[in-house]
Amino acid sequence: MSTLTPVTFVLTDLDTLAARTGRIAVFIDAQGKLDPGARRVNRLTKGAVARLVESARWGELKDGNVVSLAYPAGMAADAVDVVRLERNAKGMAARKAGAALAKARGGKADMLLLCAPLRHAQEVVFGLVMRDYAFEPHKSAASTRGGALTVMQTKPEELEAACAPLMAVAEGAHLCRDLTNEPANVLTTTAYAERLKEMESIGLKVEVLDEDALAKLGMRTLLSVGQGSVSPSYVVAMQWNGGKKGDAPLALVGKGVVFDTGGISLKPGAGMGDMTMDMGGSAVVAGVMRTLALRGARANVVGLVGIVENMPSGNASRPGDVVTTMKGDTVENLNTDAEGRLVLCDVMWYAQDHYKPAAMIDLATLTGAIITSLGHENAGVFSNDTSFCNDFLKAAEAEGEGAWRMPLGQAYDDLLKSRIADMKNIGGPAAGSITAAQFLQRFVKEDCPWIHLDIAGVASVKSATALAPVGATGWGVASLNRLIADNYETE
């Protein structure tokens, strides 16, 4: 498990600055007005900060940009990082400033933030901690990462308290990234189920359903996806009951295909290695559950993940096979690479049947087509309930996580008609993400508000995003946590 940058909160003491080693960050607004901390650094450096602020360059900077003054005379520090930021900056502007500082820190230098002028310093700290991530367990050279963050503030306890729930989000997002980045020979289905079971140590109730239990429940469709793999299939249910006893929970359901070869409908070789992230939806669910537990959320939430591996073998399911879902409907499997929906349909049905949720959200790296539609900027959002959907879109917007609503409709559903069974698992070349969502909607009960998030484009990326380096992003943990905080928590 990667660990968060350690952060300590201390009372502002400017007399310690001259001797301080590592890096020191000061925050200055567009007008260039120096607060006492920046003034002291300016005096120690014989006016270097003021020269920067008065230069033409200062005017060209955007909120959240950083200029580093290296090896400043008059100070023991290796660098002074001057951050342009409005004093009341919050949301993404403040988080991007934190992310820029994480880059300057390079994952190793000790860093002191002189946060006194900022009204929402917790947002800067959050951005820094989120961006300060690297997936290193398989590098044989010893890690060069280290160093700590010290935050100076006039009311350090208040800032520490404001930071605590955000650190829980960062913990959840980091877990999500760790799981999503992990290759499939390490994160086998069994290893994955065991890692989730370990979250009992933070107060979650975790139940692992093995193949016998799944067969008894009638999850034949899910089992059909895993039957070609030597690794057994599982469903793991993680419960957080922080809300009122008896209140119906929110259900989160995740696709956990630890590796997707496509099965007998084998994928092409180029890029197949990326399919180690095909459990990204389930990793978001795990991340959110961790966040809720760590911050003691006053809400009832159940996270369910279907963990399988999609492999070709003599025992694998064939194109043309007909399988019966837990719901009882039959599916003609015309493409074994359209496996995610076959996993989700049974877990979604079980979620509603067993937990009677107030609402349900599923997450999946479901279709390549959503990447064609929305690229890597937005997840596809599908819903049967506009008010619920808008609550989510609002939360995603506030967290700076791209999300864009897509349509559903009878004409798309019609594309799933099968000659010999109740439905096919593919719709044809057109509207691939929508027909996948239509397939899932067939397993949503009439009165259950539901959102489907197709995160194939956003779960793992090839170029760094605002708060994440290349690789798994943790997209969704912050948005879902906010959705829960804003709509599902009891007083």
Q: Which residues are catalytic?
A: 267, 341
CA dihedral in degrees (137, 279, 100, 121; nearest 10)?
-110
The Cα 451–Cα 389 span in angstroms is 7
The Cα 368–Cα 268 span in angstroms is 13
**66-70 and 79-84 strand pairing:** antiparallel
Q: Which residue(s) pair with 7 in the sheet?
A: 149
Q: Near Mn ion by CB under 5 A, which window of 49-57, 183-191, 260-268, 355-363?
A: 260-268
Decide if 288 contacts 305 (C-beta within 8 A).
Answer: no
Residue whose structure tokens are 């170029």 = 463
- The binder of 7, among Zn ion, ligand BES, Mn ion, none, by C-beta within 5 to 8 A per type, is none
The Cα 245–Cα 71 span in angstroms is 58
Per CB under 5 A, 454 contacts Mn ion: no
> CB nearest Zn ion: which residue?
260
Per CB under 5 A, 171 contacts Mn ion: no
Residue 152 token pair: 């100076």
Per CB under 5 A, 309 contacts Mn ion: no
Q: Which of residues 378-437 bind ligand BES (CB under 6 A)?
A: 426, 432
Determine which residue in the list 171, 178, 182, 278 makes contact with ligand BES, applying CB under 6 A: 278
Determine which residue in the list 29, 132, 260, 332 makes contact with ligand BES, applying CB under 6 A: 260
The Cα 353–Cα 342 span in angstroms is 17
Per CB under 6 A, 362 contacts ligand BES: no
111: Cβ contacts below 8 Å, ≥ 6 apart:
22, 23, 24, 25, 81, 101, 105, 147, 148, 149, 150
Q: Which of residues 270-329 bind Zn ion (CB under 5 A)?
A: 278
What's the closest the beta carbon of residue 337 comes to Mn ion, in angstroms?
4
What's the closest the beta carbon of residue 178 comes to Zn ion, in angstroms?
20
Per CB under 6 A, 203 contacts ligand BES: no
Determine which residue in the list 72, 340, 357, 432 makes contact with Zn ion, applying CB under 5 A: 340
User: Residue 18 or 334: which CB sits closer to ligand BES?
Assistant: 334
Alpha helices in 182-260 (DSSP H): 189-197, 211-217, 220-226
- The binder of 48, among Zn ion, ligand BES, Mn ion, none, by C-beta within 5 to 8 A per type, is none
User: Residue 242 or 432: which CB sits closer to ligand BES?
Assistant: 432
The Cα 121–Cα 95 span in angstroms is 9
What's the closest the beta carbon of residue 319 comes to Mn ion, in angstroms?
13
The Cα 112–Cα 115 span in angstroms is 9
> CB nearest ligand BES: which residue?
368
Decide if 481 contacts 169 (C-beta within 8 A).
Answer: yes
Decide if 151 contacts 116 (C-beta within 8 A).
Answer: no
Q: Near Mn ion by CB under 5 A, which window of 58-66, 255-263, 365-373, 388-396?
A: 255-263
Determine which residue in the list 260, 346, 399, 401 makes contact with Zn ion, applying CB under 5 A: 260
Per CB under 6 A, 254 contacts ligand BES: no
Helix, strand, coil shares, percent, the chain, to 5: 40, 20, 40
Per CB under 5 A, 362 contacts Zn ion: no
User: Residue 58 or 259: which CB sits closer to Mn ion?
Assistant: 259
The Cα 242–Cα 320 span in angstroms is 45
Q: Near ligand BES by CB under 6 A, which window of 8-16, 222-230, 281-289, 363-371?
A: 363-371
The residue count for the chain: 491
Per CB under 6 A, 338 contacts ligand BES: yes
Binding site for Mn ion (CB under 5 A): 260, 337, 339
Binding site for ligand BES (CB under 6 A): 260, 278, 335, 337-340, 365-369, 426, 432, 456
